[in-house]
């Protein structure tokens, strides 16, 4: 069993909405659960603490540091084990440890605080470091390699589509002109110089987000293929659920939340069937039911963990027979 002291010492990532996660996902004793974004195990620990009778919890993460943290947890608690890999491969990763169906799957999308806070990982412009941004350190393409070789149009599209950056073209243009770029601060300075000052951007004060925030987010999403991973991970998690099993997803920006919201709604609607043809009642049933509305962190949690401010937590329960084909 893991104690509260272990929980506090487990690293520097405060799990977002941990109470809500435990309440909504842990609805069966002795179930099989998957934490598809282990990070530093904040949610995994909360799940293990929340249900003493839990049969099994498998953590997944593509980051080697997260994997190392998971190894420590697995030595302390034999109900837990960690597999390294992408959650788009959740079905094969779970199968490799003998799991073909689950009672709950959690996905807490994005980067962890330890990833953001370590300048060597290159995710943040708050401290200087190599322009890396790979969640999986064994992946071939780093942010620097991509930015220093990509076409102007490709960079513009990434900044626009994944960062909703108004000044995507201007920023991309400056990036191309000032290449090669090797460090996070160098890139942040190029971006800051490329965009108009806050007042001309429509902001009344200078206390707005750093002008590089959206571009860094966009480049990170692109480098880690986060949108495709989310789409595939959602489907993999859903297909692993037993009837009555629940999939919970926490997202941190509107693009991701929209994707989750739309797919969950679709799963909770009855399928479109040809009119006037006889159908079996079970074929007209939706595959899932939404568990409440989207949840947000409470004011107290946000005051203690500002990262929770933009979190959205959505949960869906499977109604139909599990199809593991
Ligand atoms: C927001 S953090 C999760 C924090 C975790 N819930 C906790 O309480 O410590 C997201 C984690 O998911 C991992 N991750 C992101 N995308 C992934 C993917 N496609 N496959 C596997 N792991 C992924 C990241 O490496 C990171 O460690």
Distance from the CA of 237 to the center of ligand 1, in angstroms?
A: 14
Tokens 């962190």 belong to: 297
Q: Which residues of the chain have pLDDT under 70?
A: 1-12, 199-208, 281, 321-325
Task: With respect to residue 245, please indicate whether it lies within any of the assigned structural domains.
Answer: yes
Number of domains in the chain: 2
Query: What percentage of the chain exceeds 90 in pLDDT?
Result: 81
Q: Examine the domain organization and report whether 203 and 239 are in the same domain.
A: no
> What CATH number does the domain containing 67 carry?
3.40.50.150
Decide if 181 is inside a domain.
Answer: yes
In a domain, 126, yes or no: no
As a whole number of angstroms, the distance between CA 218 and CA 243 comes to 36
Q: For the segment 77-117, what is each residue's pLDDT rounded down to a tens digit?
A: 999 999 999 999 999 999 999 999 999 999 999 999 999 99
**CATH classification at residue 205:** 1.10.150.170
Ligand 1 center to residue 197 CA distance, Å? 34
pLDDT > 70 in the chain, percent: 90
Domain holding 74, by residue range, is 4-114+226-318
pTM of full prediction above 0.85: yes
Neighbours of 223 (CB within 10 A): 24
Residue 57 near residue 113 (C-beta atoms within 8 A): no
CA distance 251 to 42: 16
Residues 213 and 250 in one domain: no
Give yes or no for a contact between 19 and 11, defined as CB atoms under 8 angstroms apart.
no
* Co-location of 40 and 56 in the same domain: yes
Pair 166, 267 in one domain: no
Q: Given the CA of residue 37, which atom of ligand 1 is nearest to it?
A: 12
Residue of minimum CA distance from atom 26 in ligand 1: 39
Residue nearest to ligand 1 atom 18, measured at CA = 86
- Ligand 1 pocket by Cβ (under 6 Å): 13, 15, 37, 39-43, 60-63, 66, 86-87, 108, 110-112, 135, 229
Instruction: Specify the residue with its C-alpha closest to ligand 1, atom 22.
Output: 61
Structure tokens at 191: 């971006």
pLDDT, tens only, 262-274: 999 999 998 887 7
């Amino acid at each position: 069993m893991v104690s509260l002291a272990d929980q506090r010492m487990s690293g520097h990532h405060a799990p977002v909405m941990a109470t809500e996660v435990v309440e909504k996902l842990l609805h069966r004793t002795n179930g099989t659960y998957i934490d598809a974004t282990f990070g530093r195990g904040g949610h995994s620990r909360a799940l293990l603490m929340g249900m003493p009778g839990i049969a099994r919890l498998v953590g997944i993460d593509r980051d080697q540091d997260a994997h190392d943290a998971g190894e420590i947890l697995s030595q302390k608690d034999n109900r837990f084990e960690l597999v390294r890999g992408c959650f788009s491969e959740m079905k094969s990763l779970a199968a490799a440890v003998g799991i073909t169906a689950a009672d709950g799957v959690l996905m807490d999308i994005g980067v962890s605080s330890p990833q953001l806070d370590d300048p060597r990982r290159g995710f943040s412009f708050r401290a200087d470091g190599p322009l890396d941004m790979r969640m999986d350190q064994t992946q071939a393409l780093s942010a620097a390699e991509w930015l220093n070789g990509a076409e102007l149009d490709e960079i513009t599209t990434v900044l626009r589509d994944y960062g909703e950056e108004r000044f995507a073209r201007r920023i991309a243009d400056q990036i191309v002109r000032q290449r090669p770029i090797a460090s996070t601060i160098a890139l942040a300075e190029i971006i800051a110089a490329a965009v108009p000052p806050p007042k001309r951007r429509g902001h009344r004060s200078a206390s707005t987000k750093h002008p590089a925030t959206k571009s860094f987010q966009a480049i990170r999403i692109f480098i880690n293929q986060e949108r495709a991973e989310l789409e595939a991970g959602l489907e993999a998690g859903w297909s692993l659920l037993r009837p009555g099993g629940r999939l919970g997803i926490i997202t941190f920006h509107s693009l991701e939340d929209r994707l989750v919201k739309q797919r969950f709604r679709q799963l909770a609607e009855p399928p479109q069937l040809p009119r006037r043809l006889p159908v079996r009642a079970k074929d007209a049933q939706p595959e899932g039911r939404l568990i409440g509305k989207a949840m947000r962190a409470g004011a107290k949690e946000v005051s203690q963990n500002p990262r929770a401010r933009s979190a959205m937590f959505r949960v869906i329960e499977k109604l139909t027979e599990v199809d593991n084909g």
